Structure 1
Amino acid sequence: MNLAPAVAAAVGATPVLTADLRCFTVTIDKRVYGITVEAIHTVFEIVAVTPVPLAPYQILGLVNLRGKIVTAISLRRRLRNDPHAVETSKLAVGVEHGGESFALVVDEVGDVLTLDRGSQIEIPPHLGPDAARISSVHRLDDMILPVLDLDWVLTFGRS
């Protein structure tokens, strides 16, 4: 729940309107998620993966992205928190986060959507701890779109 407008109104200030949010849509296990456009630098096909011994199960290994070695993360395993989830996709989105590059393995990449801040709804309370995976939720004409929280996706040690 965003209390900023209510707090601003209570103290007599004008609430600050935020800009629209632009997201790529990606599909993992037939579920559609959003990832902010600003984070994504490229979409590419993974040719080969070099496994990393003792890495968390969500990390598939290291991949070559235009001559740069990046960590490949299975969003299927990360979102399902399932070490036995089989990763068959070779499609990845290259993201920059915290000064590092990562490849997020997805099943499909969809359209870029401009999400009006008015489409944002409260994150459902029944998600419990899973709510940490989502930065926002938007009601669209034909679906509800959860936008992934890249801080959560790229921080290991949390379920």
Structure 2
Amino acid sequence: MSLERSSQSLTNGLVTVKVADQRFAVPLERVSHVFVPDRLSTVPLAPPEIAGLLNLRGRIVTAFDLRMRFGLPTRAPDDPMVALGVEDGGELYGLIADRAGEAIWTAPSAVEPVPTNLDARWAGLCAGVCRLDDGLLMVLDVDRVLDFNHSSIAA
């Protein structure tokens, strides 16, 4: 899909990030902050996808490690990371990724259903895919990513 203007209005905003070698996107209306996490405080007995807690301008933020959530290799301790701040039920969460991408605008019809051959763990956490000129972009379903009870948690 080309991001050039077409007859359809480009009204679907997505914030992109890179996790391992995969590109993901979060709907722009769900993102309240993009920030570099400082010190993470570990949470004893938390699920593996909870990277810890952090302080963002006086608010306690639960940090979700997208690598762990999607069953990708763990990040080395010195590797850079970025977080997308998303709110859910009045709580602030940070979705931890490797690198920030950019905000892009697409036509609403550009987000296609999740392919049937996508791994079930990933399919359960994605709202769809967007074809770009240089590959696919997995669009996250933020509610499912934040759902501790979701069956797609990587084993």
TM over 0.5: yes
**Where does structure 1 lack aligned partners over 5 or more consecutive residues?**
1-16
| Residue number among 133, 140, 146 corresponding to 1:141 in the alignment | 133
1:97-136 maps to which residues of 2 (within 5 A)?
97-129=88-120, 130-136=122-128
Residue matched to 1:6? none
Provide the C-alpha distance between the structure 1 equivalents of 2:139 and 2:107, rounded to a whole number of angstroms.
13
Residue matched to 2:31? 40
1:60-79 maps to which residues of 2 (within 5 A)?
60-79=51-70
TM-score (norm 2): 0.81
Provide the C-alpha distance between the structure 1 equivalents of 2:113 and 2:22, rounded to a whole number of angstroms.
19
1:116-148 deviation per Cα after TM superposition (whole angstroms, max 9, x unaligned):
123233321112523111102111222221101
Query: Any conservation in 2 of the 1:89–1:105 contact (CA below 8 Å)?
Result: no
Residue matched to 2:75? 86
Determine which structure has greater relative contact order: mean sequence separation of CA pairs < 8 Å that are 6+ residues apart, divided by chain length: 2
The one-letter amino acid of 1:67's match is G
The structure with more radius of gyration: 1
**Where does structure 2 lack aligned partners over 5 or more consecutive residues?**
1-7
Provide the C-alpha distance between the structure 1 equivalents of 2:100 and 2:88, rounded to a whole number of angstroms.
19
User: Structure 1 vs Structure 2: percent identity of aligned residues?
Assistant: 35
1:18 Cα deviation (Å)? 9.8
- SS across alignment from 2:42: coil
1:45-79 deviation per Cα after TM superposition (whole angstroms, max 9, x unaligned):
11111111111011011100011111011011111
Query: Any conservation in 2 of the 1:62–1:71 contact (CA below 8 Å)?
Result: yes
Aligned length, in residue pairs = 141
Provide the C-alpha distance between the structure 2 equivalents of 1:92 and 1:156, rounded to a whole number of angstroms.
19
Taking a change above 3 Å as real, the CA distance of residues 22 and 59 of structure 1, as seen in their structure-2 partners, is same
